């Protein structure tokens, strides 16, 4: 468990504690209110009872303070955000992956908590401020490090944490109740682990089915394994109210595999072509800037991947208006797919010698290729160190645990999972089945030897789900990029030069064939909207272009 992180207190207890709660976003998921309590989302409790709407308020109604809240949270499985105004404390909590963001700001005499940074800035008054180091982080990796936003006056509650404002003392602090870290080895055999994962999969699938209460579930089906995992788990449980959709380039393997998987499972599928016409219609839509404002919140580059698909599905009336969107985000992360490639290359000692701080910077801060001022780089490394130094990282298990914890709290929570803002924008509820806490906690007990290269995960998928259901299609060889492969055998200092060369030669072609993330038409359209002339070669991928667009428009 991570230690509490105390924030700077105000100058002495205020004579009267002023508290302002700004819970206002109602797209897709509505806030429910009762005296002193606001809640949004849904969860299952320890007894397996589902809580949504007024029942969610009932679940948290008995909370009198931080200790009560922590007990409630440790028993919950779901996606939610809650704000409680108790006699002595104001409490604000996000779930284990921060699927519904909350923010806070201390001001003379009190605190402001809410779900919209811009509204909080307005309540604080004065001109919006910019942290120059956080801005550089935003542009280079997609988010500020730690609990910061771009405005130094406003903080965000990170995944698996809650904020406590003590009314008498006039100060706030953050407490952790869930950490994305890997602990002790279960000591079980591979066969036993496969059986356990089979059982865990059945349980999360049944919870998912129960939570939608008979409504249609819509799955974004790709050529990869995570979304197929969700579809197959539902099929195995006999779920028929499923519709699939797929998107990207007709030349990619995504379409071909998605069609075959849907056909074998007997689920209907809708295909959306992500050509330049589709991107122009989406990025030029009158609502686009407002959507980006909702998704960015001064703390994250929005993921625009689902936008054209959801817009076209709505225009075609291809899925019911009350359909629940069920993406397959995160399965490969929990299973070990993002563990450092250097481990497989036998370079663990070099990895540990480099240290977690410099490794994170080298590996992830690559969205723009422009040089960085030495003092800014030192400041960023200092912030990374402050964030990671709380945890042990001087041996390989600890190093990997801290790296994956960082990946979840930063990239997964603020970029990948934040894609659900797209579903909300089009009026849909959503679920995150592969972020079910039981599944997360199960993977946290699995040792490195079974998670390297996602070995156990892939054996399970093909032996227990894909094979029996006739969808055992494997990814083509070009899925793993040359730059990813090179990390296994090239010195770390050579990787930036290789990335530059790759971007200027085969990178765009291979990425377009490889997956649906490298939407270069979208990047070109966004860059054309900016006064400065940018080249695609200035960015590591399309998200770098999205970042400079957001920076220009002050989002």
- Mean pLDDT, the chain cut into blocks of 10 residues (555 residues total): 41 50 86 93 96 93 93 95 94 97 89 94 87 97 97 97 93 93 83 97 98 97 95 98 91 87 97 90 96 96 95 95 95 90 89 95 93 96 95 92 95 96 96 97 93 94 98 72 53 59 51 50 92 88 94 94
Return the pLDDT at 149.
97
pLDDT at residue 18, rounded to an integer: 78
Q: With contact defined as beta carbons under 8 Å apart, do 351 and 399 qualify?
A: yes
Number of other CB atoms surrounding residue 192 within 10 Å = 11
Which of helix, strand or coil describes residue 79? strand
Is residue 131 classed as helix, strand or coil in its secondary structure?
Answer: coil
Half-sphere exposure of residue 44, counting CA atoms within 13 Å on the CB side?
A: 19
The reported pLDDT for the residue numbered 200 is: 98
Residue pair 318/270 in contact by the 8 Å Cβ criterion: yes
**Contact (CB, 8 A) for 451 and 339:** yes
The rounded radius of gyration (Å) of the Cα atoms in the chain is 23
pTM listed for this prediction: 0.90
The burial of 2, by beta-carbon neighbours within 10 Å (0-12 exposed, 13-18 middle, 19 or more buried), is given as middle
Which of 367, 300, 310 minimizes the C-alpha distance to 99? 300
Rounded to whole angstroms, how far apart are CA atoms 195 and 198? 5
Is the CATH code 3.60.20 the one for domain 5-176? yes
> What is the predicted pLDDT for the residue at 96?
96
What CA–CA distance (Å, rounded) separates 85 from 180? 28
Write down the pLDDT at residue 512.
Answer: 44
Distance between CA 260 and CA 268 in Å, rounded?
11
Q: For strand 171-176 and strand 429-430, is the pairing parallel, antiparallel, or unpaired?
A: unpaired
What pLDDT is recorded for position 14?
35
Amino acid 125: pLDDT: 86
11 SS3 class: coil
Provide the token pair at 164: 């406590």
Find the angle CA(430)-CA(432)-CA(434) to the nearest 5 degrees. Answer: 160
Distance between CA atoms of residues 437 and 97, nearest Å: 10
Q: What is the pLDDT of residue 505?
A: 53
Residue 114 CA: distances (Å) to CA of 9, 269, 293: 19, 38, 15
**What's the confidence (pLDDT) of residue 250?**
78
Q: Return all residues near 259 (Cβ < 8 A) that are at least 6 apart.
A: 246, 269, 271
For residues 179 and 289, what is the distance between their CA atoms, to the nearest angstrom?
Answer: 34
Query: Rounded to an integer, what distance in angstroms lies between the CA atom of residue 256 and that of residue 222?
Result: 9
Tell me what pLDDT residue 126 has: 78
């Amino acid at each position: 468990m991570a230690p509490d992180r105390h924030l700077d207190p105000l100058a002495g207890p205020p004579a009267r504690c002023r508290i302002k709660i700004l819970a206002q976003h109602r797209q897709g998921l509505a806030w429910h209110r009762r005296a002193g309590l606001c809640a949004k989302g849904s969860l299952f409790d320890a007894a397996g009872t589902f809580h949504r709407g007024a029942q969610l308020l009932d679940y948290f109604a008995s909370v009198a303070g931080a200790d009560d809240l922590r007990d409630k949270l440790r028993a919950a499985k779901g996606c939610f955000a809650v704000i409680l105004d108790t006699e002595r404390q104001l409490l604000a909590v996000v779930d284990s992956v921060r699927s519904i963001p909350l923010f806070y700001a201390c001001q003379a005499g009190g605190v402001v908590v809410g779900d919209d940074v811009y509204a909080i800035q307005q309540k604080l008054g004065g001109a919006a401020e910019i942290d120059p180091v956080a801005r550089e982080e935003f542009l280079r990796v997609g988010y500020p490090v730690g609990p910061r936003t771009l405005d130094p006056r406003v903080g965000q509650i990170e995944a698996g944490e809650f904020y406590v404002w003590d009314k008498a003392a006039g100060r706030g602090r953050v407490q952790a109740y869930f950490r994305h870290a890997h602990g002790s080895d279960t000591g079980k055999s591979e066969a036993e682990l496969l059986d356990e994962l089979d059982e865990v999969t059945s349980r999360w699938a049944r919870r998912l089915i129960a939570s939608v209460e008979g409504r249609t579930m819509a799955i974004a089906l790709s050529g990869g394994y995570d979304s197929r995992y969700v579809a197959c788990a539902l099929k195995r449980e006999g779920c028929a109210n499923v519709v699939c959709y797929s998107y990207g380039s007709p030349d990619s393997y995504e379409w071909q595999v998605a069609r075959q998987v849907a056909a074998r499972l007997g689920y209907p599928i809708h295909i959306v072509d992500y050509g330049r016409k589709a991107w122009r219609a989406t990025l030029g839509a009158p609502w686009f800037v407002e959507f980006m404002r909702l998704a960015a919140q001064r703390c994250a580059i929005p993921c625009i991947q689902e936008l054209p698909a959801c817009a076209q599905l709505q225009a075609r009336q291809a899925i019911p208006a009350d359909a629940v969107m069920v993406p397959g985000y995160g399965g490969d992360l929990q299973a070990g797919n993002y563990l450092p490639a250097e481990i497989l290359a036998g370079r663990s000692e070099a990895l540990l010698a480099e240290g977690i701080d410099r490794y994170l910077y080298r590996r992830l801060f690559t969205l723009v290729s422009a040089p960085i001022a030495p003092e800014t780089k030192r400041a960023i490394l200092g912030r990374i160190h402050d964030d990671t130094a709380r945890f042990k990282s001087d041996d390989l298990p600890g190093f990997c645990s801290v790296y994956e914890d960082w990946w979840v709290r930063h990239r997964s929570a603020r970029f990948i999972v934040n894609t659900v803002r797209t579903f909300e924008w089009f009026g849909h509820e959503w679920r995150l089945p592969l972020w079910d806490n039981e599944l997360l906690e199960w993977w946290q007990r699995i040792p490195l030897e079974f998670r390297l290269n996602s070995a156990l995960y892939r054996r399970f998928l093909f032996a227990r789900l894909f094979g029996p259901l006739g969808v055992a299609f494997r990814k083509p060889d070009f899925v793993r990029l040359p730059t990813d492969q090179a990390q296994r055998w090239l010195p770390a200092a050579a990787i930036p030069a290789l990335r530059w060369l790759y971007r200027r030669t085969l990178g765009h072609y291979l990425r377009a064939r490889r997956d649906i993330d490298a939407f270069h038409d979208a990047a070109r359209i966004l860059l054309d909207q900016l006064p400065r002339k940018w080249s695609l070669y200035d960015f590591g991928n399309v998200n770098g272009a999205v970042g400079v667009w957001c920076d220009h428009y002050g989002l």
